Structure 1
Amino acid sequence: MRRQVLLFISMLSLRSVLGQVSYSIPEEMSKGSLIGNIAQDLGLDVKRLKTGRARLHVGNSAEYIELNKEKGVLLIKERIDREALCEQTTPCAVHFQMILENPIEFFRVTVEITDINDNAPIFKMNNMLFEISESAVRGARFELERALDSDVGINGLKSYSLYPTDNFILKLNENAAAEKEVEMILEKPLDREKQQQLTLTLTAVDGGEPQLSGTVQIHVTVLDANDNAPVFTQSTYKASLMENSQKGTSLMTVTATDIDQGTNGLVTYSISSNAEGILDLFEIHGTSGEVRLIGKIDYETSKHYQLNVKARDQGGLTDSCKIIFDILDVNDNAPIIDLMSTTQSIPEDSTFQTVVAVMNVHDADSDINGVVRCFLSDSLPFIIENTSNGFYSILTNIDLDRERASQYNITVTYFKITDTDNIQTRPRIVSTSVSSKAS
């Protein structure tokens, strides 16, 4: 895939300076709050911000931050919710550039958004229901729905507690994704004749200060004897899935067997709703165990999905397995060129490698599918240089002569390296005028 942009460029004198500065602020700061003195931190005079018509370039991002040119400081423009901006991704940061003109200078700015404990653990289910046979033996395991906490790090989910503990205790496990999984373990056998119903309270707490918590009730119905629980043929299933897979695609079939006879040997399947959005993307057939895709997946949003699948027999005994889908990237995003600054006229006595334009080319695809290249026609007295990741500058490559050529059309061609066999240009005409020598 290739696109083409033609630039109209004109200015007296330009130079490119690339610097960077970083700040760290907590989320939820109020509008107008001070982030930092960017003029001081970059060693710039405040007057330079005015004469250079300083501005912030945020690309396609939301404008959370604004520049006060009078004081040379960065301020909060819109309240930032770290969870809405980055979800569980850490570190979470806003990236943008500050652009100056006359001459052109641009600086990369990173503002890291740190987490505050503003979310309590929550359970997606109002309550959990279990039907457990009175013949279940000590040590029988029952997987519980995990709580969700939008906060990260120390403010995230820390531990669980169960009350009362007359018959069951909790066991916490940490999976490969460092998530805490919780099981209820039968410690004392149940007796249906003594108690047919049990109600327990599961509490999840985070590690923040002050500590926040969420609760859910567990209702246990004690059934008559069911001697054997279902057993999955695999504890973990793995498969790869293209991000452009169509809704309705059959992905795999999981199987659990129960050696009991009659209704006690009938197994049904379900996906635990312990991960945000999983039930909007995948479904499982209750009796066959066939897993289908029902939503749209996107490699750029998530590279992996884990489904926790439960098999339950008619006596209430369960087993669980995990399905891990690795999402494969598809070259489904076009490069985007963002012209950050240009000049329309340049003196013929400009110094060698004077900057006439600065642009950013980026692609949402990942790995090799997101690699973009830019080039100019060899016949032009200009070159294009990749000044940093995704940023390009167009510079003069030879001495200019207004009498020989007073105007140039510059064509910037960019393409994804995975599409070099299918390069197509869509030009926009751009002119650069060459003016007389400065007196």
Structure 2
Amino acid sequence: AGRVALLGAVLLCLWCRAAAERVRYAIPEELGIGSLGGPLARDLGLGADELPARKLRLSEEKQYFTVNEENGNLYVNERLDREEMCGESATCSVSFEALVHNPLNVFHVEVVIEDVNDNSPSFRKAVLELEIGEWIIPGARFPLEMARDEDAGSNSLVTYKLTSNPSFSLLMKESPDGSKQPELVLEKALDREEISFELVLTAVDGGEPARSGAVQVRINVTDANDNPPVFSKSLYEARVAENLSVGSPVLRVRATDVDAGSNGRVSYSFGNVPDSIHALFTVDSNSGEIRTAGPLDFEEKNKYIFGLEATDGGGLTAHCKAQIDITDENDNAPEITILSLSSPVPEDAPAGTVVALLKVRDRDSGENGQVSCELSGEAPLSIVASSGGSYKVVTASALDREQAWEHRVTVVARDRGRPALWSSTELVLEVSDVNDNAPVFEEAAYSAYVAENNAAGALVLRVQARDADAGANGRVSYWLAGGSAGAAGAAPLVSVEARSGALYAQRSLDYEQCREFAVAVRAQDGGAPARSSTATVRVFVLDRNDNAPRV
């Protein structure tokens, strides 16, 4: 019930449209699957009655979210764990495109994942062992292990507490990265007879409510080893290129201990660091040299800050920080994703019609990640940059299916690295037919000669018309459209077969009654609306010697 109340209170309908093609929401992590992310359709200006025709959908590669086809709302579709998704990054968001059709358009959507205090501070060790000589004077400081909290902002680690003991107190030392290093302060000289002390160090974060983690601090009183190791720097820095081969040296830390023998012998190790640091770096316990243990990827993370410890043979420990900055190499070619392709497109589509939406991204940074796109190939198409790395392919001029029923172009994306990397993908656009051509007769006027006394049904002439359109738009049928005696008058003399255009004599012709006549034949296609043209057929009746002289 508390979680439900929290969701209702914390869910933010924060959205903004800084540009007509951008929408932004902010929601807390760990929202349950099916929880509302935002009223996407409403914020894109789409009404409920428009949704069936506009076909709103998402293009995200990993389906953290889904959109409801009926109401257009954005809903959580997978677990949202900020720490898993973004690690130690100060900000965390998921970006994707929302596509609509009729007309085709793309909108950039960003969902900010806000941190929830769902992680407690933790220590690497269950027990911290310290050895303090009985001759150590009050005021001496002993660095303690720092706790780690995977949350961000105010939910991350804030302060420490130590169980009360008159011999010890706790102070905080500001580290170079802004974190607080707990230090144990000796308040009064120790007595060897006391042998040991058992304290508890508690780390408390700044969440609401706060979370905490604790570690036992065991202090052994000794009669030797009166000097702890001392690092030459509190912060060691290095800058290396990504893709550095595994085993390459990165930097070397150095600590000295003025004690003699084993008490002055220093060994090096990592402090309380996450597993990801162990996967990428190693530290030589004898030399303090840090080397790569795994591949460094600038696009994954460009800076690492972690703690190191130097421990002498008597158990005294010193702490320092290492900061390793990763520089970018142009090791990623641009990636082209076809978000939507409207194919076929009608040939009467006006210039500027959007026929394809593309997403182009380059995981590199700076000039290595700046991309330009162009079309290669002969086609009446052009490419236009949109927001957020999106591109629109639009018609640059009128299309004509009768000239070209298909257009093939190559989209080439090239970054500005040196040397530049590029990638390409082919777009195949089919052009659908529109009934924009009327049938055309092979001849504008036909002449036919028929001897009188012909048999009924005899072939007089065959006319033919061609239509450049396709399908029903190019299917031609023939009809009588009229004649010298009108359509009704001509009809008894000839007929036309609708499919073939053949004209047949309906009855025997008599030269002495009709020496010639003309009919108009209409060729009509099957388009909607239909287109037609006409041709004139003039029929001449030839005389036969079929009459005897009369006296």
Report the Cα distance in structure 2 between the residues aligned to 1:162 and 1:262, rounded to whole angstroms. Answer: 33
Secondary structure at the aligned position of 1:353 is classed as coil
Q: What amino acid is aligned across from residue 307 of structure 1 in structure 2?
A: F
**Residues 240-259 of structure 1: matches in 2 within 5 Å?**
240-259=239-258
Report the Cα distance in structure 2 between the residues aligned to 1:90 and 1:255, rounded to whole angstroms. Answer: 31
1:421 is displaced (CA, Å) by 5.9
Match of 1:230 in 2: 229
Match of 1:332 in 2: 331
**Residues 112-123 of structure 1: matches in 2 within 5 Å?**
112-123=112-123
Q: In the alignment, is the contact (CA less than 8 A) between 2:203 and 2:213 conserved in 1?
A: yes
Q: In the alignment, is the contact (CA less than 8 A) between 1:250 and 1:292 conserved in 2?
A: yes
Task: With a CA cutoff of 8 Å and minimum separation of 6, indicate the structure with the bigger relative contact order.
Answer: 1
Match of 1:409 in 2: 408
Relative to structure 2, which stretch is displaced further, 201-210 or 343-352? 343-352
Change (3 A) 1:410 1:432: farther
2:157 matches 1:157: yes
Report the Cα distance in structure 1 between the residues aligned to 2:122 and 2:378, rounded to whole angstroms. Answer: 64
Q: What amino acid is aligned across from residue 30 of structure 2 in structure 1?
A: E
Q: In the alignment, is the contact (CA less than 8 A) between 1:35 and 1:76 conserved in 2?
A: yes
Secondary structure at the aligned position of 2:386 is classed as strand
Q: In the alignment, is the contact (CA less than 8 A) between 1:56 and 1:66 conserved in 2?
A: yes
**Aligned counterpart in structure 2 of residue 433 of structure 1, from 421, 431, 434:** 431
**Aligned counterpart in structure 1 of residue 43 of structure 2, from 41, 44, 62:** 41
Report the Cα distance in structure 2 between the residues aligned to 1:309 and 1:427, rounded to whole angstroms. Answer: 48
Change (3 A) 1:407 1:274: closer
1:419 is displaced (CA, Å) by 5.3
Q: In the alignment, is the contact (CA less than 8 A) between 2:265 and 2:313 conserved in 1?
A: yes
Report the Cα distance in structure 2 between the residues aligned to 1:324 and 1:383, rounded to whole angstroms. Answer: 47
Relative to structure 2, which stretch is displaced further, 400-409 or 331-340? 400-409
Match of 2:268 in 1: 269
**Residues 264-413 of structure 1: matches in 2 within 5 Å?**
264-377=263-376, 379-413=378-412
Report the Cα distance in structure 1 between the residues aligned to 2:388 and 2:25, rounded to whole angstroms. Answer: 20
Match of 1:170 in 2: 170
Match of 2:105 in 1: 105
Report the Cα distance in structure 2 between the residues aligned to 1:420 and 1:289, rounded to whole angstroms. Answer: 37
**Aligned counterpart in structure 1 of residue 58 of structure 2, from 44, 56, 59:** 56
Change (3 A) 1:72 1:277: closer
Secondary structure at the aligned position of 1:46 is classed as coil
> Which structure has the larger Rg over C-alpha atoms?
2
Change (3 A) 1:149 1:253: closer
Question: Which structure 2 residue ranges, 5 or more long, are not aligned?
Answer: 1-18, 437-528, 530-551
Change (3 A) 1:256 1:437: same
Report the Cα distance in structure 1 between the residues aligned to 2:345 and 2:360, rounded to whole angstroms. Answer: 24
Q: In the alignment, is the contact (CA less than 8 A) between 2:93 and 2:113 conserved in 1?
A: yes
2:21 matches 1:19: yes
1:203 is displaced (CA, Å) by 0.5
Q: What amino acid is aligned across from residue 23 of structure 1 in structure 2?
A: Y
**Residues 52-201 of structure 1: matches in 2 within 5 Å?**
52-58=54-60, 60=61, 62-192=62-192, 194-201=193-200
Residues 387-430 of structure 1, C-alpha deviation per residue, up to 9 Å, x if partnerless?
A: 1231111112233344444432111111222155676x666462
Change (3 A) 1:68 1:411: same
Secondary structure at the aligned position of 1:388 is classed as coil
Q: In the alignment, is the contact (CA less than 8 A) between 1:145 and 1:274 conserved in 2?
A: no
Instruction: Tell me the TM-score normalized by structure 1.
Output: 0.87
Report the Cα distance in structure 2 between the residues aligned to 1:421 and 1:113, rounded to whole angstroms. Answer: 34
1:264 is displaced (CA, Å) by 2.8
Report the Cα distance in structure 2 between the residues aligned to 1:400 and 1:182, rounded to whole angstroms. Answer: 73
Change (3 A) 1:182 1:275: farther
Q: In the alignment, is the contact (CA less than 8 A) between 2:133 and 2:225 conserved in 1?
A: yes
- Equivalent pairs, count: 419
Q: In the alignment, is the contact (CA less than 8 A) between 1:136 and 1:226 conserved in 2?
A: no
1:330 is displaced (CA, Å) by 2.2
Change (3 A) 1:369 1:270: same
Q: What amino acid is aligned across from residue 44 of structure 2 in structure 1?
A: L
Change (3 A) 1:323 1:333: same
Match of 1:13 in 2: none
Report the Cα distance in structure 2 between the residues aligned to 1:402 and 1:419, rounded to whole angstroms. Answer: 42
Residues 219-242 of structure 1, C-alpha deviation per residue, up to 9 Å, x if partnerless?
A: 111221334333333333221122
Q: What amino acid is aligned across from residue 289 of structure 2 in structure 1?
A: E
Change (3 A) 1:44 1:170: same
Change (3 A) 1:339 1:419: farther
Report the Cα distance in structure 1 between the residues aligned to 2:165 and 2:365, rounded to whole angstroms. Answer: 49
Relative to structure 2, which stretch is displaced further, 178-187 or 336-345? 178-187
Q: What amino acid is aligned across from residue 40 of structure 1 in structure 2?
A: R
2:33 matches 1:31: yes
Q: In the alignment, is the contact (CA less than 8 A) between 2:132 and 2:226 conserved in 1?
A: no
Q: Percent identity?
A: 41
Report the Cα distance in structure 2 between the residues aligned to 1:329 and 1:105, rounded to whole angstroms. Answer: 34
Report the Cα distance in structure 2 between the residues aligned to 1:429 and 1:342, rounded to whole angstroms. Answer: 8
Q: What amino acid is aligned across from residue 357 of structure 1 in structure 2?
A: A
Report the Cα distance in structure 2 between the residues aligned to 1:426 and 1:87, rounded to whole angstroms. Answer: 32
Instruction: Tell me the TM-score normalized by structure 2.
Output: 0.70
Secondary structure at the aligned position of 2:52 is classed as helix
Q: In the alignment, is the contact (CA less than 8 A) between 1:18 and 1:108 conserved in 2?
A: no
Report the Cα distance in structure 1 between the residues aligned to 2:173 and 2:266, rounded to whole angstroms. Answer: 26
Change (3 A) 1:437 1:145: farther
Change (3 A) 1:303 1:431: same
Question: Which structure 1 residue ranges, 5 or more long, are not aligned?
Answer: 1-16
Change (3 A) 1:39 1:386: same
Secondary structure at the aligned position of 2:417 is classed as helix
Residues 266-295 of structure 1, C-alpha deviation per residue, up to 9 Å, x if partnerless?
A: 222222123453233222222222222223
Q: What amino acid is aligned across from residue 54 of structure 1 in structure 2?
A: L
Relative to structure 2, which stretch is displaced further, 363-372 or 217-226? 363-372
Match of 1:3 in 2: none
Relative to structure 2, which stretch is displaced further, 317-326 or 407-416? 317-326
Change (3 A) 1:90 1:263: closer
Residues 167-193 of structure 1, C-alpha deviation per residue, up to 9 Å, x if partnerless?
A: 22222233343322222222222222x
Q: In the alignment, is the contact (CA less than 8 A) between 1:267 and 1:313 conserved in 2?
A: yes
